[in-house]
Amino acid sequence: ASASSSRKESDDSKAPLPKGVVLDKDGKPCRTCTSVAAWKNLTRQAKSDSSPSTSTSTSTSTTPTVPLAAPTNPSPSTIPPECPPDVEQLGRSTWTLLHSMAATYPETANTEHQDNMSGFLKFFSKLYPCWVCADDFQTWMAHPSGRNQPKLGGRKDFGWWLCEAHNEVNRKLGKKEFDCRFWEERWRTGWKD
Ligand code: FAD
């Protein structure tokens, strides 16, 4: 099941959250699970709620938690420099790290290397700072058929597997899939002229 079904419900006594805001497990808004655009709406709402001269929220939606960032915010969000990352910036940086790890993975990995990467992915999928992202990623990896288990024998297999993992998130967010035949050009060798 998608993590979206397990997201926290908001407190009904409060104004509905702006679209795109994801709650953390403690019920507070989760910044690393939310786009900066949605976060700005939240801070705007908080300001207007605390301002006596401003009327209260006019939204009639009771939807507490939200679709993920991308479909609700078609224009790319920009974060002021030196500010904490939103779900998108965190994601871009993390994919850069992960695909670069695949790019530098041995062509043929020995047992120790495979074990290290397996351990890394296991902990990564539990500790990723956007918890809804982490939950979905773990669920995808643990597909009962075993078909999504990391392929760690060597660089080509691992890079392809990671590309498929990334495409799974792309699909979930309504983004275009990446053609995995080109993952090495994108992340290792550079594009051919
Ligand atoms: P990104 O998706 O960050 O991609 C960066 C670059 O990678 C692209 O510009 C492209 O050149 C290349 N690329 C794209 N697809 C592939 C691929 N399949 N293989 C190789 N290279 C590729 N965000 C959410 O809102 N909800 C989630 O549930 C969620 N889950 C995530 C789970 C994980 C494990 C990670 C690492 C991130 C997750 N994100 C999630 C963040 C999301 O995937 C994006 O990083 C974010 O939306 C920014 O997207 P982007 O369009 O800038 O490009």
* Long-range pairs, 164-169, Cβ under 8 A, ≥24: 165/137, 165/140, 165/141, 166/95, 166/98, 166/99, 168/140, 169/91, 169/133, 169/136, 169/137
Buried b (16+ CB within 10 A) or exposed e, 93-125: ebeeebbebbbebeeebeeeebeebeeebeebb
Residues 29 and 105 reside in one and the same domain: no
Residue 112 counted as domain residue? yes
Q: Which domain holds residue 160?
A: 87-189
Q: What is the pLDDT of residues 108-128, one digit of tens each?
A: 999 999 999 999 999 999 999
Q: What is the ipTM of this complex?
A: 0.99
Residue 129 counted as domain residue? yes
Q: What is the CATH number of the domain that holds 161?
A: 1.20.120.310
Q: What's the CA gap between 4 and 14, in Å, rounded?
A: 21
> What lines the ligand 1 site, CB under 6 Å?
68-70, 87-88, 91-92, 94-95, 99, 128, 132-133, 136-137, 163, 166-167, 169-170, 173, 175, 178, 183, 186
Residues 55 and 145 reside in one and the same domain: no
Q: What's the CA gap between 19 and 78, in Å, rounded?
A: 17
Structure tokens belonging to residue 92 = 């871009």
Q: pLDDT-based confidence at 97, cuts 50/70/90? A: very high
The DSSP letter of residue 7 is P
Domain-ending residue, one of 37, 72, 107: 72
Number of domains in the chain: 2
Domain-ending residue, one of 38, 72, 106: 72
Q: Is residue 88 a contact partner of residue 128, using CB atoms and an 8 Å limit?
A: no
Residues 185 and 98 reside in one and the same domain: yes
Residue 106 counted as domain residue? yes
Q: What is the pLDDT of residues 161-175, one digit of tens each?
A: 999 999 999 999 999
Residues 103 and 156 reside in one and the same domain: yes
Structure tokens belonging to residue 47 = 């300001």
Q: What pTM was computed for the model?
A: 0.84
Residue 81 counted as domain residue? no
Residues 98 and 181 reside in one and the same domain: yes
Q: What's the one-letter identity of residue 16?
A: P
Residues 7 and 67 reside in one and the same domain: yes
Residue 57 counted as domain residue? yes
